[in-house]
């Protein structure tokens, strides 16, 4: 297990945890990217998985970003620098567009790729203390390369994103919560358990309805109201008459909690 770049566990019904196993730095190594790519494909195709937590081992750092010593070999293996970056962009895109919600835990250093990948997740939760969250590539004379600038602008607005990127600023967990970059903040020792509980709440919701809403609201900030209303109507039709819809109505009439995803 110590040699595995990625640890995969199922701590709750419908929940899978994918954990970077490179404590304390939790670098996004070539081996980790390959393992994550395979795991995301499997998770996306597995109907028993209804929510995903993306985290890292230990409580020191979520990730300091890619292993820079592997940059040269990685580019050579991919064939070009663009192909190398595209592999990482593709991984994040597949996380972003898979038909089930994902939650990233941000603690310690969450820098470069250590923020860019969480930006592709549906939700992010952060440590109340000790987190350093940002895209500091300006200090390296460079710019974000794994979609960080685009997704950060979508998450917090263009002006705020530019201010953070151009000044190479890092945020604490509470600061990230204040600008809407994360949805919850918890003590670092509770963060993983809280993320699993969050994921369990999502996993308990009707699977088809969750999938329909993820699809309906994808890229909502760039779509007009008529398009979003049409997507909502499509979601309504996709969930009408399903076993979960029938169970939800029965539970309401019987004044009890619904029991979804029993099929």
Question: Where exactly are the structural domains of the chain?
Answer: 6-203, 207-253
Q: Cα separation of 71 and 33, whole Å?
A: 13
Q: Is 189 exposed, middle or buried (0-12, 13-18, 19+ CB in 10 A)?
A: exposed
Using one digit for the tens of pLDDT, what is the confidence trace for 127-143? 999 999 999 999 989 99
Q: Under DSSP, is residue 32 helix (H, G, I), strand (E, B) or coil?
A: helix
* Residues paired with 66 in a beta bridge: 28
Cβ contact 62:110 at 8 Å? yes
137 is catalytic: yes
| Res 196: pLDDT | 98
| Res 182: pLDDT | 98
Average pLDDT value over all residues in the chain: 94
> Which listed residue (4, 38, 42, 116) is catalytic?
116
| Res 1: pLDDT | 56
* pTM score of the predicted model: 0.93
> Which listed residue (4, 87, 137, 175) is catalytic?
137
Q: Cα separation of 107 and 186, whole Å?
A: 10
116 is catalytic: yes
> Would you say domain 6-203 falls under CATH 3.90.226.10?
yes
2, pLDDT greater than 80: no
């Amino acid at each position: 297990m110590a040699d595995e770049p990625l640890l995969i566990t199922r701590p709750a019904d419908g929940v899978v945890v994918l954990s970077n196993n490179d404590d304390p730095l939790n670098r996004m190594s070539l081996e980790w990217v390959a393992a994550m790519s395979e795991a995301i494909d499997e998770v996306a195709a597995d109907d028993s998985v209804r929510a995903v937590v993306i985290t890292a081992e230990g409580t020191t750092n979520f990730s300091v970003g890619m292993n820079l010593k592997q940059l040269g070999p990685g580019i050579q293996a991919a064939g070009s620098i663009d192909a190398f970056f595209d592999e990482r962009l593709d991984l994040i895109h597949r996380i972003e567009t898979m038909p089930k919600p994902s939650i990233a835990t941000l603690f310690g250093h969450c820098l470069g790729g250590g923020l860019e990948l969480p930006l592709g997740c549906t939700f992010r939760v952060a440590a109340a203390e000790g987190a350093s969250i940002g895209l500091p590539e300006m200090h390296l004379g460079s710019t974000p390369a794994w979609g960080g600038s685009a997704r950060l602008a979508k998450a917090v607005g263009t002006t705020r994103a530019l201010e953070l990127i151009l000044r190479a600023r890092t945020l604490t967990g509470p600061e990230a919560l204040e600008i809407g970059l994360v949805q919850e903040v918890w003590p670092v020792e509770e963060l993983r358990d809280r993320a699993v509980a969050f994921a369990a709440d999502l996993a308990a919701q009707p699977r088809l309805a969750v999938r329909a809403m993820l699809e309906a609201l994808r890229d909502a900030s760039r779509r007009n109201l008529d398009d979003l209303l049409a997507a909502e109507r499509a979601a309504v039709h996709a969930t009408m008459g399903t076993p979960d819809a029938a169970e939800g109505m029965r539970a309401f009439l019987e004044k009890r909690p619904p029991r979804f995803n029993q099929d």
